[in-house]
Structure 1
Amino acid sequence: MTTETTAPDEPWRDPRLSTARRVRDLVARMTQQEKIAQLQGVWTGIDAAGEMAPHQHEFAVTPHDFDELTRHGIGQLTRVFGTRPVAPEVGAHSLARTQRKIVEASRFGIPAMVHEECLTGLAAWQATVYPSPLCWGATFEPDLIRRMAAKFGESMRRLGVHQGLAPVLDVARDLRWGRVEETIGEDPHLVGLIGSAYVAGLESAGVVATLKHFAGYSASRAGRNLAPVPIGPRELADVLLPPFEMALRAGARSVMNSYADNDGVPVAADQTMLTERLRDEYGFTGTVVADYFSVAFLHKLHGVAADREDAAAQALTAGIDVELPTVDCYGEPLLAGLGSGRVDQALVDRALTRVLTQKCDLGLLDPGHSPVPEAGVDLDDPESRALAREIAERSIVLLHNDGVLPLTGKRLAVIGPRADEPGAMMGCYSFPLHVGVHHPDVPMGVEVPTVLDALRAEHDVVFARGCPVLGGTDDEIAEAVATARLSEVCVVVLGDQAGLFGKGTSGEGCDIPDLKLPGRQEELLEAVLGTGMPVVLVLLSGRPYDISRQIDRLAAVVCGFYPGEEGGPALAGVLSGRINPSGRLPVGFPGAGSSQPSTYLAATLGTRSEVSTVDPTPLFPFGHGLSYAPATWVAVGCEEREWPTDGTCRVHVVLRNDMEIATSEVVQIYLHDPVAEVARPVRQLIGAVKVDLAPGQTRTVTAELHADLTAYTGRTYQRQVDPGDVELHVGTSSANVHSRLRLTMTGSPRVVGFDRALVPEFDTP
């Protein structure tokens, strides 16, 4: 028996038709107010939320009449789970009721898109807090990050969330910037490699990934948040944009603009950036959503728009499709602009088509769509915690070790403000520190063992805090010194308190003037070192700090950044030797003179010289990391001596593990271009892969490198591949090179574009 399906009277409701046909039909049926409603976000809990976005309470418009607001529909719902603590199942059913109201109140019954933050997992109460992006970069393992994003992406879809506002693809340029903790690192290839894996994972779960902040945000003058960006077109093209290009090719369906102005032009009003480059050059067809309040900022902060109507017109013209987080400029001001002729109707229809296309692809226009959530969603199940632990373990970086590690049978003094604090494991966009801090009477929602908890489970331990992250007394430091004298080894746990807008030492709006350890922590460290006891420094921080004054007296240094809810046991495992550390630095540690913003991506004039008293050489370089069982580099070679400008070369690295425990090595391949049209970085990463080796095992790594990986932006501002001599530097960090392979690139110069090869192909049998 067969049943005939009757086509709906309105083509836009018919799932059998193409998306383009359905959207075109729907757009033609909508009134101006209905169209504009789809370009708006609504944050219904903003009046009760703590400060979670810049100038939030100044610019927010609280919807006082939800029924009136939904009469024409709604484009987006903002942070239903991420505004206040709400149990997942309760929040899901509340969201379903809200969606039913929206569907029933409006003429076409189109559900809203629902977006949430998800930088370290879904930012919701009782959800797993995964390691921070710097930890992702430190793993050098894109597949691990893909698995993470896919895992929590599945939970997001089950709750009714359609879009995640991550990943952050800003390349760290100045370590004083508070949002360094949200970045993946200082190298565009690594950021793109890991960021595109995150995108692939989230999108595989059916959740729209949102690339941010497009582009230039991290290169602000003096490392200040939301400050002018003085970069040139080459830094933009060769350092800041490649991660976005890689992630777009991984399938990202949304992009968020940068708050900043680049050379005086705010990105929210930059048609060259958001349309000509993103759409015309890159071929992006998804939605561009405004970073929170950035459309209003064109009028209130940047001073490039006369009023909110002008701001709406400029943003829409530039290419911003949806105003987030709540209706302001894309409401009555945009309607007024249409009436006055300041806004072209075609621009509204262009943005609307993109929004409805995405909703159609998500099934929100289908007649059978139901907002009813699945029951029994566990956001912190054992599988999620195990994955969080695995990422933490694979990301911890052993920076220095004089042989005191691993710890075996020693009485430990555990000292420091980060040792017995669950929040020390988390960044500013984790739910407990982003939202939970505004609800001190509500439990954290997830179990987070501290470093002290984890070490006590394995060792004989005495403890003293010594001082808080900021402030403290002489008596507290004296107590820590006395405690240190009771031990055989001191583990000093220092670092940051993540927070927002001055509520922490790291995080959005928590920029710093130099890279000294916050508060009295360096003083505490010096006091403990003065006891003469061996000191192991553990850093839980959102950025690297200057420890150059202590490094010669420290027995060991371990960096965990913000390793998430399972970071305590992971760190204890590394300290005890149960885990052989395999993380590598995604950002270098500064040397003496802790206010220098430089990264390893410097041309010759940016390195140490005799004509400047400032030495930018890092204490620990990008890519650095030690092991308890370092791999033996047996051989490095290249099959070719000539490398066609339109072809490939193959590099072989033979590694052997001569130790009795398993080990890992990160093979890093850097390009050195001795002669080019413009000054190039002395060394720039073009390929990296982590290789695991069992005891006694030998493995051969083969990298096939396309000539496109040598491309750079030349004097005509085209990205080009040049013939001539180049070197491939193969090693274990940006400063530790095992082999220099000299090749000659042959053939004609080539201009390459968005479709160029972006990553090498690795074979690691």
Structure 2
Amino acid sequence: MASARVQALLASMTVEEKLAQLVGFWVDQGDELVAPMAGEMATSTRYEEASAHGLGHLTRVYGTRPVEPIARAEWLWAEQRRLQTETRLGIPAIVHEECLTGLAAWQAATFPTPLAWGAAFDPELVAEMGRLIGGSMRELGIHQGLAPVLDVIRDPRWGRVDECIAEDPYVVGTIGTAYVQGLQESGIHATLKHFVGYSASQAGRNHAPVHAGAREIADVLLPPFEMAVRDGGARSVMNSYAEIDGMPVGATPAYLTDTLRDDWGFDGVVVSDYFSVAFLHTMHAVAVDRKAAAELALGAGIDVELPGGDAFPLLAAGLRDGSVDDDLVDRAVLRVLTQKEQLGLLDADFSTPPRAVDLDSPAHRRVAGSLAAESVVLLTNDGTLPLASAHTAATIAIIGPNADSAHALMGCYSFANHVLALHPGVPLGFEIPSLTDAIRAELPSARVLTALGCEVEGDDRSGIADAVAAARQADVAILAVGDRAGLFGRGTVGEGNDVESLELPGVQRELIEAVVATGTPVVLVALSGRPYAIGWALDGDGAVAAALQSFFPGEEGGSALAGIISGRLSPSGHLPVSLPRSAGAQPFSYLHPLLGGPTEITSADSTPVRPFGHGLTYTSFVHSDLRTDAASPAGSTVSVSVQVRNAGERAGVDLVQLYAHDVFASVTRPVAQLLAYQRVSLEPGESATVHFDVPTARLAFTGVDGVRIVEPGTVDLWVGSSCADRETEATVEITGPAHAVTAADARVCGVRVARGVAV
């Protein structure tokens, strides 16, 4: 319910003042391609005209071009003062920025990409990162962050996979909610995106139609958003560009109003993805013009048009003559004014801009380093890693297009790859040692040989001979391959960079095969924004000695990888997405029913090369004695415990993964479903008992009548090193009548770790 102050403001507003609160303005927008079709959709309205009656949002003040933060803050404080003193109502604007891998601004820290968050399986660390990012934003007068992305990965061919957290909705929900909580604890409103269905696009193509059924939407795609709204208290949501079964989300009240507000109780603000209101006319063709698009969007539940006013201002004449429902406009204005009141904007003092900020402090770098290290996944290892002490003074060949590239450590929505790529010659503004730099620092006694081998893209093979020569002279070769993140064709992964093949780009496979053929042990490092079909490099003849998967690990990623290679750090990351067999096996999810996996009635095999949850360490962990309640009523909580022991000779971190399979149900169920997870650090010989309190709602699904229920029946439980490993098993019987899930049902498992005595 809006406050009396907000209601009084609304009552005093003219039509122009109302509509001004429902749009943003992109002051710095030019020819740079940092948003889809930005050049075609740019409004021609001058800023002075657009802000004459106030303004809802200022779009990407820091994040469009490389601007010096303090100088830009001075401009921003002055502009907010102008809105306070030179518009009739004196209402400042909300400032929003991208913050997916840190604040997307020049000189700000760049953290690992969200797919690395998923690989770390560490919500607490992600929350700490969110607090640091939020603190930087608040210092600079920013109020709203366009993150996190809660799209569940359905097809790795989609270019925006590096923005996503995992292919499991519970992992996406718990980690995404942690980021929301961290950001909002610092006073920044998080924006959940892209609500909903965006990642399930046809053939992994950006903006392509979505053919997901109602059950997939309800059971896989919606739960992370529900968790972030109900448990995280997210204050903003951004609509998806997608059309689902012919219905664009931006024009569909069933998602933006019925589910989001009526079912979940969301009372924040819905902002449009950039240009998506106008897209209802230009791309979806469900509106005859932009005015009609504005009416559809408002009716569906979109409150604010971003990045600028391409459609909403066209409603003015209709509001005056009564042809446009003014209740829809008033509803949106109340929400925006309430948000500004909550942010303190209605009473803000903009007299003193910041004089100094540290956007890449030691605290930023500490968390960036910890998250990078925790996210590295050891895919295979014949004992070459960690490098033995003999290698610390050995000859090491560092090869590959991503070995000496700082840009290869950063995701699509990093400021460096998103914006600075359009400003050659401008320095990054922060330290980010490449993998080569980091290994030289990590192993100062080693003799290091370097060779490019090939570029990330293209068919130039002329450098492969030099790479082979370097490998032949070395005791071990470190070969860094993978992606270069960018937008809309400016790279191999990122927004608009969708692919038909999951082979490594360019001639990188030929480079790997040539270096492996030298006989020198090869440590493969995949620095990428998506998982690639690299089974040929991991298994069988021609396999590498060891392989590390690192999903764009950020500014401290090179150092984290070097530490793992040397043995100073131990790998503890696990795959948040299946390592694919081929592009032809897509879309694939480990959450598939029986007929979604290999069967005797098809010659095609979709089994991934490495399963969801896979991740090796430098020690070995044994899981045993899985115990659970014999029976538990639907709607209650199941108590589960398991013992884990470090059976190796090194300290390490295990990811305890609890999986379930509903043996028989009224609709088909996944062969494996992650119920709960917990990182546990153990010394050699140390053991611990991990207790999970699992709400039976974790087993809920949409029943035959369209209602989400927990059904009675037998459920298999297991713990292992991945979804495919049943190391210790148990069974629980869910009893009683079917339970219809409500808001009162817990969505998150409780976890307790009791450490045992070293054995």
Query: Under TM normalisation by the shorter chain, which class is it?
Result: over 0.9
How many angstroms does 1:186 deviate by? 0.4
| Structure 1 segment 144-155 matched on structure 2, within 5 A | 144-155=125-136
Picking from 710, 714, 733, the partner of 2:703 is 714
Matches of 1:342 and 1:283, distance apart in 2? 30
Secondary structure of the 2:675 match is strand
Matches of 1:201 and 1:462, distance apart in 2? 43
Q: Does the alignment pair 1:685 with 2:666?
A: no
Secondary structure of the 1:365 match is helix
Distance 1:520 1:165, change over 3 A: same
Secondary structure of the 2:660 match is strand
- State the percentage of identical aligned residues: 53
Amino acid at match of 1:238: D
Bigger mean CA deviation after superposition, 93-102 or 134-143: 93-102
Q: Contact conserved, 1:99 with 1:111, CA < 8 A, in 2?
A: yes
Q: Contact conserved, 1:245 with 1:754, CA < 8 A, in 2?
A: no
Q: Does the alignment pair 1:563 with 2:553?
A: yes
Distance 1:371 1:217, change over 3 A: farther
Q: Which residue of 2 aligns with 1:390?
A: 370
Matches of 1:230 and 1:658, distance apart in 2? 47
Q: Which residue of 2 aligns with 1:490?
A: 477
How many angstroms does 1:658 deviate by? 3.6
Q: Does the alignment pair 1:274 with 2:256?
A: yes
How many angstroms does 1:460 deviate by? 2.3
How many angstroms does 1:535 deviate by? 1.2
Picking from 219, 244, 255, the partner of 1:262 is 244
How many angstroms does 1:593 deviate by? 5.8
Picking from 582, 591, 602, the partner of 1:601 is 591
Amino acid at match of 2:728: S
Secondary structure of the 1:448 match is coil
Distance 1:133 1:148, change over 3 A: same
Q: Which residue of 1 aligns with 2:735?
A: 746
Matches of 2:217 and 2:637, distance apart in 1? 26
Matches of 1:415 and 1:577, distance apart in 2? 20
Q: Which residue of 2 aligns with 1:656?
A: 645
Amino acid at match of 2:487: L
Matches of 1:160 and 1:594, distance apart in 2? 47
Matches of 2:589 and 2:353, distance apart in 1? 46
Matches of 2:343 and 2:461, distance apart in 1? 59
Q: Contact conserved, 1:516 with 1:594, CA < 8 A, in 2?
A: no
* CA offset digits 1:418-446 (Å, max 9, x no partner): 00000000011000000001111211111
Q: Which residue of 1 aligns with 2:358?
A: 378
Amino acid at match of 1:149: G
How many angstroms does 1:729 deviate by? 2.1
Q: Which residue of 1 aligns with 2:181?
A: 200
Q: Which residue of 2 aligns with 1:400?
A: 380
Matches of 1:63 and 1:90, distance apart in 2? 25
Secondary structure of the 1:149 match is helix
* CA offset digits 1:343-381 (Å, max 9, x no partner): 200000000000000000111112x53363332111011
Q: Contact conserved, 2:6 with 2:337, CA < 8 A, in 1?
A: yes
Runs of 4+ in structure 1 deviating by more than 3 angstroms, as ranges, are 339-342, 592-595
Matches of 1:413 and 1:525, distance apart in 2? 13
Q: Which residue of 1 aligns with 2:529?
A: 542
Q: Contact conserved, 1:44 with 1:63, CA < 8 A, in 2?
A: no
Matches of 1:619 and 1:749, distance apart in 2? 37
Q: Which residue of 1 aligns with 2:605?
A: 615
Q: Does the alignment pair 1:455 with 2:439?
A: yes
Matches of 1:474 and 1:707, distance apart in 2? 56
Picking from 227, 230, 233, the partner of 1:251 is 233
Amino acid at match of 2:407: G
Secondary structure of the 1:186 match is coil
Q: Which residue of 1 aligns with 2:117?
A: 136
How many angstroms does 1:536 deviate by? 1.1
Q: Contact conserved, 2:97 with 2:142, CA < 8 A, in 1?
A: yes
| Structure 1 segment 153-168 matched on structure 2, within 5 A | 153-168=134-149
Matches of 2:582 and 2:207, distance apart in 1? 28
Amino acid at match of 1:308: R
Picking from 718, 721, 725, the partner of 1:729 is 718
Number of residue pairs aligned between Structure 1 and Structure 2: 743
Amino acid at match of 1:27: L
Q: Contact conserved, 2:2 with 2:334, CA < 8 A, in 1?
A: no
Q: Does the alignment pair 1:513 with 2:513?
A: no
Amino acid at match of 2:665: A
Bigger mean CA deviation after superposition, 466-475 or 709-718: 466-475
Q: Does the alignment pair 1:176 with 2:137?
A: no
Distance 1:340 1:526, change over 3 A: farther
How many angstroms does 1:42 deviate by? 0.4
Secondary structure of the 1:653 match is strand
Q: Which residue of 2 aligns with 1:236?
A: 217
How many angstroms does 1:19 deviate by? 5.5
Secondary structure of the 1:212 match is strand
Matches of 1:595 and 1:484, distance apart in 2? 34
Secondary structure of the 1:485 match is helix
Q: Contact conserved, 1:214 with 1:256, CA < 8 A, in 2?
A: yes
Q: Which residue of 2 aligns with 1:7?
A: none
How many angstroms does 1:643 deviate by? 1.3
How many angstroms does 1:657 deviate by? 2.2
How many angstroms does 1:84 deviate by? 0.5
Amino acid at match of 1:579: L
How many angstroms does 1:77 deviate by? 0.2
Q: Which residue of 2 aligns with 1:334?
A: 315
Distance 1:67 1:105, change over 3 A: farther
Q: Which residue of 1 aligns with 2:566?
A: 576
Q: Which residue of 2 aligns with 1:672?
A: 661
Q: Contact conserved, 1:44 with 1:62, CA < 8 A, in 2?
A: no
Matches of 1:565 and 1:135, distance apart in 2? 13
Picking from 410, 416, 420, the partner of 2:404 is 420
Q: Contact conserved, 1:671 with 1:729, CA < 8 A, in 2?
A: yes
How many angstroms does 1:653 deviate by? 1.3
Amino acid at match of 1:746: T
Distance 1:748 1:371, change over 3 A: farther
How many angstroms does 1:618 deviate by? 0.6
How many angstroms does 1:595 deviate by? 5.2
Q: Contact conserved, 2:454 with 2:462, CA < 8 A, in 1?
A: no
* CA offset digits 1:546-570 (Å, max 9, x no partner): 1112222211110111000100010
Q: Which residue of 2 aligns with 1:314?
A: 296
Secondary structure of the 1:524 match is helix
Secondary structure of the 2:731 match is strand
How many angstroms does 1:456 deviate by? 1.5
Q: Contact conserved, 2:690 with 2:753, CA < 8 A, in 1?
A: yes
Q: Contact conserved, 1:230 with 1:263, CA < 8 A, in 2?
A: yes
Matches of 1:340 and 1:318, distance apart in 2? 22
* TM-score w.r.t. length of structure 1: 0.96
Matches of 2:469 and 2:584, distance apart in 1? 30
* TM-score w.r.t. length of structure 2: 0.96
Q: Which residue of 1 aligns with 2:71?
A: 90
Matches of 1:592 and 1:254, distance apart in 2? 37
* CA offset digits 1:404-427 (Å, max 9, x no partner): 111131421111000000000001
Q: Which residue of 2 aligns with 1:123?
A: 104
Bigger mean CA deviation after superposition, 747-756 or 79-88: 747-756
Picking from 293, 312, 322, the partner of 2:275 is 293
Picking from 33, 37, 53, the partner of 2:35 is 53
Q: Which residue of 1 aligns with 2:456?
A: 469
How many angstroms does 1:128 deviate by? 0.3
Matches of 1:521 and 1:693, distance apart in 2? 38
Q: Which residue of 1 aligns with 2:757?
A: none
Secondary structure of the 2:52 match is helix
Q: Contact conserved, 2:623 with 2:719, CA < 8 A, in 1?
A: no
Q: Contact conserved, 2:718 with 2:727, CA < 8 A, in 1?
A: yes
Q: Does the alignment pair 1:353 with 2:337?
A: no
Picking from 399, 422, 442, the partner of 1:438 is 422
Q: Contact conserved, 1:513 with 1:595, CA < 8 A, in 2?
A: no
Matches of 2:399 and 2:380, distance apart in 1? 19
CA RMSD across the alignment: 1.3
Q: Contact conserved, 2:585 with 2:606, CA < 8 A, in 1?
A: no
Secondary structure of the 2:3 match is helix
How many angstroms does 1:262 deviate by? 0.6
